[in-house]
């Protein structure tokens, strides 16, 4: 039961942060959904960084609060998918393709960046263990 509370707290903060960012860059009435893209890429870099920099020293409850709660509410596949379909329905096929490619390749790149910012290097081993 305690885990659900941690996830709920993280989710509340993640959802509010996502709302703030998407209000700064609304996708309604614009050509490209920058707000959703920003949330997804920031979430990727956060997850990549935290996985190697802080998670080895955190409790399972705090990890759940951050990953499933905060990052889960902050990032969104459903909105990404809906915005892609809307772009396609509006005849913006090239823009939809650019959005999908930027989101996926950018997401992986930002996870990699976050892991490097945390000092993780697969050739030297996981530096979080000392």
Residue pair 72/11 in contact (Cβ under 8 Å)? The answer is yes
The answer to which of 33-37, 87-91, 100-104 has the lowest mean pLDDT is 33-37
Total number of domains constituting the chain: 1
Rounded to the nearest 5°, which phi and psi values hold at 111? -65, -45
Whether residue 110 is predicted with pLDDT greater than 80 in this model: the reply is yes
Asked whether residue 11 is marked as a ligand-binding residue, the answer is no
Q: Residue 26 and residue 67: Cα distance in Å, rounded?
A: 25
Write down the pLDDT at residue 125: 52
Q: Of all residues in the chain, what percent carry a pLDDT higher than 90?
A: 59
Whether residue 19 is predicted with pLDDT greater than 90 in this model: the reply is yes
Asked whether residue 72 is marked as a ligand-binding residue, the answer is yes
Where in the sequence is the domain holding 71, given as residue range(s)? 2-129
Tell me the pLDDT tens digit for each residue of 49-72: 888 888 888 899 999 999 899 999
Q: pTM score, two decimals?
A: 0.74
């Amino acid at each position: 039961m305690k885990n659900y509370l941690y996830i709920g707290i993280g989710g509340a903060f993640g959802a509010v942060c996502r709302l703030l960012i998407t209000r700064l860059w609304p996708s309604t009435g614009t050509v490209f959904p920058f707000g959703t893209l920003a949330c997804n890429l920031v979430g990727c870099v956060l997850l990549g960084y935290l996985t190697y920099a802080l998670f080895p020293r955190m409790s399972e409850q705090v990890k759940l609060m951050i990953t499933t709660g905060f990052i889960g509410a902050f990032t969104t596949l459903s909105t990404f998918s809906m915005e892609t379909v809307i772009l396609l329905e509006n005849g913006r096929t090239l823009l939809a393709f650019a959005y999908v490619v930027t989101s996926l390749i950018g997401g992986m790149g930002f996870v990699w960046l976050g892991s490097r910012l945390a000092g993780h290097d697969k050739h030297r081993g996981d530096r979080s263990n000392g």
